Structure formats: structure tokens, C-alpha cells
């Protein structure tokens, strides 16, 4: 199967999980939700244990996968925090900046080249993200000041950095170290679950609150977990076949569907402008793929 098909399936699953996440976060605190989802994800990846060749494992790979899990934990929690307080039609297009950030990091770290098309695409993504966040009622300069001082926008932008670095780890583990997908999926979710449980405990959310979050989320959080495991699986299949910048670009095309469906579902404001901004960002994504 082509890498672009895997990446597109990843985008669809990611869009579904993002919409469910926004819905569940209206009822559950971000810490409790993140820990509960991480526990459910670990449960759902247990079947991968039957396909693991433990002879491939060593201390270095486990440490490398733990580091990747730490980065994924940090980025996921920051996105959950931002999603709880911002419109999903704002968060999702902002996350679409990650292909640009990933491509730049891949250029410096992995030696993956940046073409003129990709540089133009990154520029379009920056323009689109700014157009997304300005308020047409208060003027361009004041909108920029609001954007630059928004705590939750900063949280989302920080999550982009963690996601981009995590993407480099994913590519290296799967492509350079030849770790099998079952090994990586299981141990990645194992480390994420352990880290979130420890973080939740430190924040005052013990096992009882995690179980309560699962009960409160009900079928939504279960389906959100299944979609999350699904998009991670398809992302890893794509990363085995293509560069991290290309996979990230197609993956984040999910922002258009998330903005359109989620914006309508949650009756968010300025949806037309946000869809235009999403279109500009996705156009930038297309240039990165070209």
C-alpha cells in the first residue's frame, strides 16, 4: 500500500479522535482525560504483544522509545489543555503548522532536503495560521498582540515543537533502527501510560479519578482511544515508507475536516474565516508534499 494512503487514513483517524477529544473535554479535566485515554490506549495495544520479537530489544532502544514517549506525553497533554480552552476550529489549523516545523527540523537533524516548493509551503502555512487567529473586529495590529499574548495559543505552539521532535524519533526508530511496528506501538503506549499515571498522581488525580474519567467519558472516550491507536498505527506504516516531513504534511490535512465538522458541531464563531485559513494552511501542506 502507498505511503500517502496510510498517511491519509492517519489524517481521517486523527480528525475523528480530535473531535471526540473536544467533546469529552467539556466534561472531564485535561489531566484526568489524558491519563484515562493513555490507560485505554495501552489496553487496546496489548494484542500487539503477540507479534513482538523480544530479541530485537536492548537498553538503548528502550531508552530511545521512552524518550519518544516522553515527548508524545508532553505534546498530547499540551494539546488537550489547549483544546479544552480554545475552539477546535482554532486548535486544529494551528497544529497544521507541524509539517513545516517537522520539515525544518528534519532538514537540520536528518539531512532531509528542503525544496523551493517546501519553503513556499511553509510560508503559506505561517500566513494561514496568522489569518486564523486574527480578530476582524479589533484590527490587525491589536490582533497580533492578542495572538502573541494568548497563553493557550502558546501552549499549542509549544506542543508543535514536541510533536516535531517526536516525529524525528519515530522516523529514526522505525527507519534507521529497523524496529518493528508492534514493538514500537506497544512500548510507546506503555511508556505514555506510565508517564501520564505518574503525572496524574502528582497532580492529585489518582486511580479513582482516572476510572471516574473513563466512566464519565463513556463510549466517547473508548472510541477516541480506538481512533488514537488507529492514527498512530497508520502514521507508523507511512513513516516506514516516506520521510517524516511528507507524512506529517498529509497527516495534518485532517485540520480541514476537523475545522469543518467540529466547528459546525460545537457552533463555533468565525467558522468561514477559519475554513479559509485552514485552506491556506493545507495549500501550504500540498506544496510541502510536492
Could you give the C-alpha distances from 128 to 7, 94, 252, in angstroms and in order? 22, 9, 14
In a domain, 261, yes or no: yes
In a domain, 51, yes or no: no
In a domain, 168, yes or no: yes
Instruction: Please give the pLDDT value at position 270.
Output: 65
Instruction: Please give the pLDDT value at position 251.
Output: 78
Separation CA 220–CA 210 (nearest Å) = 15
In a domain, 53, yes or no: no
In a domain, 224, yes or no: yes
Question: pLDDT per position in the chain (290 positions), as tens?
Answer: 688 889 889 988 988 898 888 888 888 888 899 899 999 999 999 999 999 988 888 999 999 999 999 999 998 888 888 877 776 556 665 666 666 677 777 777 766 666 788 778 767 776 776 666 555 555 555 555 555 667 777 888 888 888 888 888 888 888 888 899 999 999 999 999 999 999 888 887 778 888 999 999 999 999 999 999 999 999 999 988 887 777 877 776 676 666 666 555 555 566 677 677 777 777 877 776 66
Instruction: Please give the pLDDT value at position 104.
Output: 75
Quote the pTM value: 0.78
What lies within 8 Å, CB to CB, of 258 at 6+ separation is 14, 15, 18, 19, 88, 89, 92
Could you give the C-alpha distances from 8 to 235, 252, 257, in angstroms and in order? 9, 9, 12
Looking at the 3D structure of the chain, how many domains does it have? Answer: 1
In a domain, 151, yes or no: yes
Instruction: Please give the pLDDT value at position 112.
Output: 65
In a domain, 268, yes or no: yes
Separation CA 97–CA 91 (nearest Å) = 11
Task: State the residue range of the domain holding 114.
Answer: 3-46+58-289
Separation CA 14–CA 233 (nearest Å) = 11
Check: CB of residue 197 under 8 Å from CB of residue 39: yes
In a domain, 70, yes or no: yes
Amino acid at each position: 500500500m502507498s505511503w500517502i494512503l496510510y498517511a491519509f487514513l492517519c489524517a481521517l483517524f486523527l480528525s475523528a479522535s480530535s473531535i471526540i477529544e473536544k467533546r469529552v473535554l467539556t466534561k472531564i479535566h485535561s489531566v484526568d482525560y489524558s491519563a484515562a485515554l493513555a490507560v485505554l490506549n495501552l489496553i487496546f495495544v496489548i494484542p500487539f504483544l503477540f507479534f513482538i520479537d523480544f530479541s530485537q530489544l536492548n537498553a538503548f532502544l528502550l531508552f530511545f522509545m521512552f524518550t519518544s514517549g516522553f515527548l508524545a506525553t508532553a505534546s498530547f497533554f499540551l494539546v488537550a489543555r489547549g483544546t479544552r480552552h480554545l475552539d477546535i476550529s482554532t486548535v486544529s489549523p494551528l497544529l497544521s503548522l507541524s509539517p513545516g516545523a517537522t520539515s525544518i527540523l528534519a532538514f537540520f537533524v536528518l539531512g532531509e532536503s528542503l525544496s523551493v516548493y517546501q519553503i513556499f509551503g511553509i510560508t503559506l502555512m505561517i500566513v494561514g495560521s496568522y489569518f486564523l487567529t486574527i480578530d476582524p473586529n479589533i484590527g490587525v495590529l491589536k490582533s497580533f498582540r492578542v495572538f502573541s499574548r494568548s497563553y493557550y495559543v502558546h501552549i499549542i505552539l509549544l506542543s508543535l515543537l514536541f510533536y516535531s521532535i517526536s516525529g524525528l524519533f519515530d522516523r529514526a526508530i522505525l527507519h534507521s533502527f529497523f524496529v518493528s511496528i508492534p514493538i514500537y506501538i506497544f512500548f510507546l503506549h506503555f511508556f505514555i501510560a506510565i508517564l501520564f499515571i505518574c503525572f496524574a498522581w502528582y497532580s492529585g488525580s489518582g486511580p479513582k479519578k482516572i476510572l471516574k474519567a473513563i466512566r464519565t467519558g463513556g463510549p466517547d472516550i473508548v472510541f477516541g482511544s480506538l481512533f488514537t491507536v488507529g492514527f498512530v498505527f497508520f502514521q507508523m506504516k507511512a513513516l516506514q515508507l516516506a520521510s517524516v516531513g511528507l507524512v506529517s504534511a498529509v497527516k495534518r490535512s485532517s485540520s480541514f475536516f476537523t475545522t469543518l465538522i467540529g466547528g459546525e458541531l460545537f457552533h463555533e464563531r468565525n467558522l468561514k474565516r477559519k475554513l479559509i485559513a485552514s485552506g491556506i494552511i493545507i495549500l501550504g501542506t500540498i506544496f510541502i508534499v510536492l
